[in-house]
A and B are shown apart, each in its own frame.
Chain A
């Protein structure tokens, strides 16, 4: 059964492998890695030994931005039975639960797919408070990997109403209270103000213009205040931001404007690929990765993830309702939209990125360009904004393209001729080293998340490790780890799930004035439809809970 993995105090030694542990400046040195009782230790006496000669040893992968659990994703599962039918099947076995892969995998399959690729920690990037209980229930049944959640905040009307009145101190207490109510790890801002406006069928496209229904609150104000609140609360992960105007031609201006607003605060720019476009319309659509990367390289307060696109089936599913409606009008495909009272909304449109389509070709290039043009791998991380740009289980395809300039250039040649003048990818010769791959898939995102026990192999760190057979074909190498170790136990061996155990969920408890409830309760009762007392997520509902200390 997939319910409980038995915890053993197993000792394990990996010997003979080339170790890539960027956080400790270890770059391919052959050395032993030992673990005991789920943690890395200096040495062990006895226990099993893995001979990793000819293999490389990485800290387990960390996905800083993905959508694998929650009401929106579950809505998408219902919308796309045709995807489910075509997807990979997961058989019920003595160790594993049945499931379905594809763009919106079932919870059990999600755990197996991530672990099967060497990833051991994932961040669900979009959780509304109202349905957070549901997200935690899904995460409970997402085995093996450790998890953390980001709370959707930039369209929370209680917070926005306070910002309108200039009550920023109280807004800070509300944000802190909501984080604890939802039992989450970080704060996510999605299309600030735009989702609220969408509830009247509008959008928020200008960073410095008031949001529909407000006089003073602009997207820029929401972004600046939230980033400040997150920093003041001392959360381990900075504000996680999905900018306004996602996916739109010419949105580079919005993104640059937004990054200026963020000066002086930390922020993580999510799926930057979707925010780095030039042109005035779909016909003149082009890459502005160079402009974005130039600015980004100079501003060390920011981190980002790629949100790269691969050709093939995806499901676009974001809290960005207006963008989804636009996509629906453009594609004529199915459209699902779900507005969540007072907090957020989400849209869902199944989508296929085609290599022959000019816009899609540019999008594909932009993701890779950003990964290659941003010079510091500690500040740009591998994601596809799963399942928006591509499915997470296709990461190895991207790794291959990053490591191999020839393969990339060959692929560029097959793009529509018109696309070539709109991108710079063909001119980029940079090739990622294994060391850099270890940074963008593990060490970097772990550091940006403030998860101090992840992404490295120092003594005391969580013993989450991926071991790969060295292979010049990066895609093959990273798709089929030889071993995956989670909390010191071998969970995957030659592609088979050997051992299923439940992961942890990381949460934080920021400080707030408990009297904030006296303010919140009446407002809540006026605007919501459930009892205030039933709103917070109960602690028992978060399985494998680990509260991370706030500095």
Chain B
């Protein structure tokens, strides 16, 4: 397996958002996390490139992403007051999409901050 080295990688586990991490990864997992603290290290090593989970679940049953997207769209559009919640472990690009979606479905959008 080829080993990839990514320099100046960014850890998003805590609010420090350290961007000086050197990651060593084979195709499946990250094997080394230079300069990361122990929390960062376990965050990086806790996620792999394996297909460990079904792509999607509808009512607990495996489904395609396409079907899950359509089901999600139906539920959200049919609701009177849908909520879009969380946002802390996703990228800003995803957050930006989330606000646009909340607007389109006429919902509430909220993050962990309000907890």
Judged by a CB distance under 8 angstroms, whether A137 is at the interface is yes
For chain A, residues 498 to 551, give those with C-beta under 8 angstroms from any C-beta of chain B: 530-531, 533-534
Judged by a CB distance under 8 angstroms, whether A98 is at the interface is yes
Residues of A within 8 A of B14 (CB): none
For chain B, residues 61 to 111, give those with C-beta under 8 angstroms from any C-beta of chain A: 92, 96, 100, 103-104, 106
A534 touches B19 (CB 8 A): yes
> How close is B82's CB to chain A, nearest CB, in angstroms?
14
Number of A-B contacts (CB under 8 A): 23
B7 touches A97 (CB 8 A): no
> Please, which residue of chain A has its CB at the minimum distance from the CB of B8?
A531
CB-defined interface of A470-484 with B at 8 Å, one 1/0 digit per residue?
Answer: 000000000000000
Judged by a CB distance under 8 angstroms, whether B26 is at the interface is no
B20 touches A92 (CB 8 A): no
B100 touches A533 (CB 8 A): no
Given contacts A97-B100, A98-B103, contact A530 B92 (CB under 8 A): no
Judged by a CB distance under 8 angstroms, whether A141 is at the interface is yes
In angstroms, Cα B7 to Cα A3, docked, is: 33
Contact for B100 among A1, A530, A531, A534, CB less than 8 A: A1
> How close is A411's CB to chain B, nearest CB, in angstroms?
41
Judged by a CB distance under 8 angstroms, whether B10 is at the interface is yes
In angstroms, Cα B10 to Cα A534, docked, is: 9
CB-defined interface of A143-163 with B at 8 Å, one 1/0 digit per residue?
Answer: 000000000000000000000
* Tally of chain A residues near chain B (CB < 8 A): 11
B92 touches A137 (CB 8 A): yes
Q: Please report whether the interface of chain B is mostly helix, strand, loop or mixed according to DSSP.
A: mixed
Q: Please report whether the interface of chain A is mostly helix, strand, loop or mixed according to DSSP.
A: loop
Contact for A530 among B7, B19, B104, B106, CB less than 8 A: B19
> How close is B14's CB to chain A, nearest CB, in angstroms?
15
In angstroms, Cα B7 to Cα A28, docked, is: 61
In angstroms, Cα B21 to Cα A377, docked, is: 54
> Please, which residue of chain A has its CB at the minimum distance from the CB of B21?
A531
A531 touches B20 (CB 8 A): yes
B10 touches A92 (CB 8 A): no
Give the 10 A-B CB pairs with smallest separation, nearest first.
Answer: A531-B8, A533-B8, A534-B19, A531-B19, A531-B20, A98-B103, A92-B103, A530-B19, A534-B8, A97-B103
* Chain B residues in the interface with A (C-beta under 8 A): 7-8, 10, 19-20, 92, 96, 100, 103-104, 106
23 contacts between A and B (CB under 8 A): A1-B100, A1-B104, A3-B100, A92-B103, A92-B104, A92-B106, A97-B100, A97-B103, A98-B103, A137-B92, A137-B96, A141-B96, A530-B19, A530-B20, A531-B7, A531-B8, A531-B19, A531-B20, A533-B7, A533-B8, A534-B8, A534-B10, A534-B19
Known: A98-B103, A530-B20, A534-B8. 14 other contacts (CB 8 A): A1-B100, A3-B100, A92-B103, A92-B104, A92-B106, A97-B100, A137-B92, A137-B96, A141-B96, A530-B19, A531-B7, A531-B8, A534-B10, A534-B19
